[in-house]
Structure 1
Amino acid sequence: MHLAHYLGLLHRAQTNLADAFRQVAAAHADEPDVRHLCERLAQQCDEHAERLEPFARRYREQAPDEPDRLHSELFGGTRTGGIGLLRDLQDLYLMAAECDICWTVVGQAARGVRDERLQQVVRGCEGETAVQLRWLRTRMKQAAPQALVVA
């Protein structure tokens, strides 16, 4: 069964996203909304990873290195200034999109194995991940004019 592979992928992706949210919160502490929401979203990602743990044990989670590769290639560290904030938010968006599609795939597998408890976790976390993506997109729209037009 390959569900264990995707559980490992999703678990590591959530952990990496939490770490990246914290780094952006610290780097852009002068933007109160970014600092506050990134800290909150990091906590939410940690909770997602915790909610996966019983299923990781049940299905014997395998931990592939893909999320680490994505994290290191996308998120080599935070940047400064307006353009830096925009790029950091874009990196977070791509990492959250990875989590989003993994939730979809794990949800489909949970339906396939008729694991109602895993389906419940997926529904809740998938919805919260969608909110994360919406906030990131909105915040990038807000930051783009200032970062790209005003010198």
Structure 2
Amino acid sequence: MHLATYLGLLHTSLRTLADAFREVAKGHGDEPDVQHTCTVLASRIDEQVSALGPIVERYGEHSEPEPERLHAAELKETRSGGVGLLRDLQDLYALASFTDITWTVVGQAAQALRDEELIDVVSTCEQDTARQLAWLKTRIKQSAPQALIAARG
């Protein structure tokens, strides 16, 4: 069974995404909504990691390097300015999308296994991830005109 591989991918991507949200919060403190929301979303992801714990204990996990590879090197240190914020938000969106589709794959396995506990965890966490993606998309839309057109320099 390869579920352990995807649980490893999911576990690693969640930790990577939480760290990336924290880095963006820290690096864009001049944007209070970004700082606050990224901090809240990172905490929500920590809750997802905790919810995944009993599942990982039951099925195991195999560590894979892919999420770290997706974690853009620049996100270890945020970019500055409006365009920098826009690019950092895009990096978060890409990583959150990877996490979202990984939840979907794990959810399909949960259905096939008829594992109600895993189905419940996936359902709750997929909703959280959908909210992360929705906020990121909205914030990207808000930032893009100012960063790409109005800003000079």
Shorter-chain TM-score category?
over 0.9
Q: How do residues 1-151 of structure 1 correspond to structure 2 at under 5 angstroms?
A: 1-73=1-73, 75-150=75-150, 151=152
5+ residue gaps, structure 1 = none
Moved over 6 A (4+): none
CA contact (8 A) 1:74 1:91 kept: no
Q: For the aligned residues, what is the CA RMSD? A: 1.0
**Does the aligned pair in 2 maintain the 1:15–1:49 contact within 8 Å?**
yes
- What TM-score, normalized to structure 2? 0.96
Residue 100 to residue 74, structure 1, CA distance change in 2 (3 Å): farther
Identity in percent: 58
For residues 135 and 64 of structure 2, the distance between their equivalents in structure 1, rounded to whole angstroms, comes to 28
Offset, 1:77:
2.4
1:64-97 superposed Cα distances (whole Å, 9 cap, x missing partner): 1111111145734210000000000000000000
User: Secondary structure of 1:122's partner?
Assistant: helix
Do the aligned residues in 2 keep the contact of 1:25 with 1:34 (CA within 8 Å)?
yes
Aligned pair count reads 151
